[in-house]
Amino acid sequence: MGGNCSTITVVSGDGCASLAARCGITAAQFTQFNPSPTLCSTLAVGQKVCCSAGGLPVPVENSDGTCASYTVAMGDTCNAIALSNSITEADLETWNNATWGWQGCADLQIINICLSTGSPPIPAPVSNTICGPTVPGTANPGPSGNLALLNPCPLNACCDAFGQCGTTSDFCTITQSPTGAPGTTGCISNCGTDIISAPQPPFQFMSIAYFEAFNVNRTCLNMDVRQIDTTKYTHIHFAFLDITTSFEVDTSQYMDALTNFASMTGVKRIASFGGWTMSTDPATYNIFRSAVSTDANRQAFASNLVTFVNKFGLDGIDIDWEYPGEQDIPGIPADSMDDGENLLTFLNVLTLALPVGKTLSVAVPAGYWYLRAFPIAKIVNSVNYMVYMTYDLHGQWDYGSAFDDLGCPEGGCLRSHVNLTDTLNALSMITKAGVNSNQLVIGVSSYGRAFQMSAAGCSGPQCTFTGPASGATPGRCTNTAGYIANAEIDEIIARGATVTHDTNSDSDIVVYDSTQWIGYMNNKTKASRTTMYKGLNMGGTSDWAVDLQAFLPAFTPTPPKPTRNPCTQAQGWVDGWVNTLLNNGKFEGNPVIVEGNPGIGCGCWNDVPQMWQNPVHPLFLALRTL
């Protein structure tokens, strides 16, 4: 007989007799409709039994080829699900080997599963996911769609099975699972942490030095821009020039330094705009946001920048906006996530406006959280190079955050701000995002990040620092707890300190006064990093900042060389020429003294015709005798 029987569901306390009674049939009929000889001894709550002729109904594949699906509930088991649907656990294992998140009946997850043959269902939405198929509202791509590629991460970052984006091995590693089903193997898309090197090195490996024009405001550790050793660098970035609320360049604060900078030779002279303070100060944070917000503002800003570089004869412009699309910088409102695209539009306008031969660069962050708002693969096509700020990777702001310090479950572990592992992760992130390595100028630092250790004598990656306020001793010139110049570090070392090179982070570590800890780069470490970056076909290195490197004597300008009066030069030239002619001829030993004669002194060139008209002029006589 075909078709499905009518059914009832076994409840606690049921036996075959009670089931027959509930069906309203005889025991014989019940046995006829449910012929299994073991049924009465194996009844289970939730199981269905027939009350009429026919087979037990089972879920069937949908007409579009997708399976009949069920969303697992808390407390469910495969046995209970199978019994209630008149199928077996073996059926569930077979039908779900391609189901998203299927870990097998032994580790049943709260997911959508198949109760029949057919292609897997779209995964159940998870409220806090940001990538992959579990993002709420995701449409089913159909049997031919690849669930793993749905809702990809910005920057081509890795998406893990939990629907989170990241760039470290925690997010990017493909792992093994008991079933091998999709969504159970760690990373699901854009996996891996390889650095993608350009096939060719750059035409020129750049060596950029940022010069802090504001170093003049320090009580010590001051540097005149003319003291930069230009043989060490290809580019000098003058940081930072001010921008007014009407998008004009304000040179008033550093005019003398700018004038001297503009007169430098042998290096590319780049004007840098922005920086952390301008980008985040309540009084100025909105300047960049407003400057890129409309076509009119973008045109005005670009025009003013071009006028400025032309006026001073500079070689290029560097934009350091920290950061478009930021969402959590204290003291200022969250920025629109559209401002990354607005920045791109502005850069395109500026590129077209700059004269041929002038360069354009941008400085970009080396962390996923702030870089994600940059349409970085497009921006790289609008600039000559990018300064990649691979410093400040750690700092006092890490206190209490377990997510900022790898291998530090409680957060607040001592980490170098130029940690090599983090730097390599950053290089992987940006090259995977589509930036050519030979356009990337990698940051090196001439300062350290300092902390107060929680316990004196501690060593190793689990050592922590105090907080939330910094307990680091400020440098005597930089005067900022947690930030200290290499020049100041060298003074500390000279007074006596423990200095080591940590190979794991490829950083130099200084410990002094029992609990004062500094992570930084000395010159040897900078050189080894530079060699590494050359091997990766990176575009160069960028040092923040040249004025932090060493204490220098006060600058004394070199007096200009005296310039000879052109008439005096002419007088001497004529005297020498005439006497040479005479001494080489028959008048040798009888020189003619030209000095004092008409037409040879000041204004001599205007009097040349008189020489030829005067038959007794010494020059005429000398030439006539040859």
Please give the pLDDT value at position 457.
95
Q: Report which of 251, 223, 374, 390 is spatially closest to residue 312, judged by C-alpha positions.
A: 251
Q: What is the mean pLDDT of residues 463-491?
A: 98
CA angle 136, 140, 144 (to 5 degrees): 145
| Backbone dihedral angles phi then psi of residue 132, each to the nearest 5 degrees | 80, -175
Q: What is the mean pLDDT of residues 115-139?
A: 94
Determine contact, residues 322/275, Cβ cutoff 8 Å. Answer: yes
Confidence of residue 497 (pLDDT cuts 50, 70, 90): very high
Question: Is the peptide bond between 468 and the residue preceding it cis, with omega within 30 degrees of 0?
Answer: yes
pTM over 0.85: no
Instruction: Report the CATH number that the domain containing residue 303 is assigned in CATH.
Output: 3.20.20.80
Instruction: Return the axis-axis angle of helices 295-312 and 339-353, rounded to nearest 10°.
Output: 40
The parent domain of residue 92 ranges over 60-190
Please give the pLDDT value at position 564.
55
Please give the pLDDT value at position 76.
95
Q: What is the mean pLDDT of residues 58-64?
A: 93
**Do residues 306 and 173 both lie within one domain?**
no
Q: What is the mean pLDDT of residues 542-546?
A: 99
- Position with higher pLDDT, 56 vs 620: 56
Please give the pLDDT value at position 263.
98
Q: Report which of 362, 274, 273, 268 is spatially closest to residue 316, judged by C-alpha positions.
A: 268
| Per annotation, catalytic residue among 89, 212, 322, 326 | 322
Please give the pLDDT value at position 584.
47
Q: How many CA atoms lie within 13 A of 90 on its CB side?
A: 0
**Do residues 354 and 257 both lie within one domain?**
yes
If one counts every other C-beta atom within 10 angstroms of the C-beta of residue 294, the result is 11
- Position with higher pLDDT, 603 vs 420: 420
Asked if the structure places residue 142 within a domain, the reply is: yes
Please give the pLDDT value at position 565.
55
Q: How many domains does the chain contain in total?
A: 4
Q: Is the pLDDT assigned to residue 406 strictly greater than 60?
A: yes
Coil vs helix vs strand at 624? helix
**Do residues 12 and 126 both lie within one domain?**
no
**Do residues 218 and 350 both lie within one domain?**
yes
Which of 299-313, 326-340, 601-615 is least confident?
Answer: 601-615
Please give the pLDDT value at position 400.
87
**Do residues 321 and 443 both lie within one domain?**
yes
Distance of alpha carbon 570 from alpha carbon 174, whole angstroms? 82
Distance of alpha carbon 583 from alpha carbon 622, whole angstroms? 10
Asked if the structure places residue 528 within a domain, the reply is: no
**Do residues 124 and 147 both lie within one domain?**
yes
Coil vs helix vs strand at 167? coil
| Backbone dihedral angles phi then psi of residue 352, each to the nearest 5 degrees | -70, -30
Q: What is the mean pLDDT of residues 553-577?
A: 63
End position of a domain, from candidates 138, 155, 190 = 190
Q: Is the pLDDT assigned to residue 153 strictly greater than 90?
A: yes
Asked if the structure places residue 213 within a domain, the reply is: yes
Helix, strand, coil abundance in the chain, percent, nearest 5:
30, 15, 50
End position of a domain, from candidates 513, 546, 579 = 546
Confidence of residue 573 (pLDDT cuts 50, 70, 90): very low
Please give the pLDDT value at position 407.
80
If one counts every other C-beta atom within 10 angstroms of the C-beta of residue 251, the result is 17
Q: What is the DSSP letter of 120?
A: P
Asked if the structure places residue 503 within a domain, the reply is: no
Asked if the structure places residue 477 within a domain, the reply is: no
If one counts every other C-beta atom within 10 angstroms of the C-beta of residue 197, the result is 16
Asked if the structure places residue 481 within a domain, the reply is: no
Please give the pLDDT value at position 496.
96
End position of a domain, from candidates 156, 190, 224 = 190
Model pLDDT for residues 196-231, shown as the tens digit of each residue: 999 999 999 999 999 999 999 999 999 999 999 999
Asked if the structure places residue 491 within a domain, the reply is: no
Q: Report which of 454, 513, 525, 457 is spatially closest to residue 486, judged by C-alpha positions.
A: 525
Please give the pLDDT value at position 583.
47
- Position with higher pLDDT, 4 vs 602: 4
Instruction: Report the CATH number that the domain containing residue 14 is assigned in CATH.
Output: 3.10.350.10
**Do residues 117 and 20 both lie within one domain?**
no
Asked if the structure places residue 115 within a domain, the reply is: yes
Please give the pLDDT value at position 563.
59
**Do residues 285 and 420 both lie within one domain?**
yes
Determine contact, residues 483/449, Cβ cutoff 8 Å. Answer: yes
First and final C-alpha spacing in the chain: 139
**Do residues 418 and 331 both lie within one domain?**
yes
**Do residues 179 and 232 both lie within one domain?**
no
Confidence of residue 110 (pLDDT cuts 50, 70, 90): very high
Annotated catalytic, 410? Answer: no
Please give the pLDDT value at position 143.
75
What is the rounded average pLDDT for all residues in the chain? Answer: 91
Determine contact, residues 115/69, Cβ cutoff 8 Å. Answer: yes
Please give the pLDDT value at position 604.
45
Q: Is the pLDDT assigned to residue 602 strictly greater than 60?
A: no
Confidence of residue 142 (pLDDT cuts 50, 70, 90): confident
Distance of alpha carbon 267 from alpha carbon 233, whole angstroms? 7
**Do residues 102 and 120 both lie within one domain?**
yes
Please give the pLDDT value at position 599.
42
**Tokens linked to 365:** 């962050």
**Do residues 88 and 108 both lie within one domain?**
yes
Q: What is the mean pLDDT of residues 40-53?
A: 94
Question: Is the peptide bond between 587 and the residue preceding it cis, with omega within 30 degrees of 0?
Answer: no
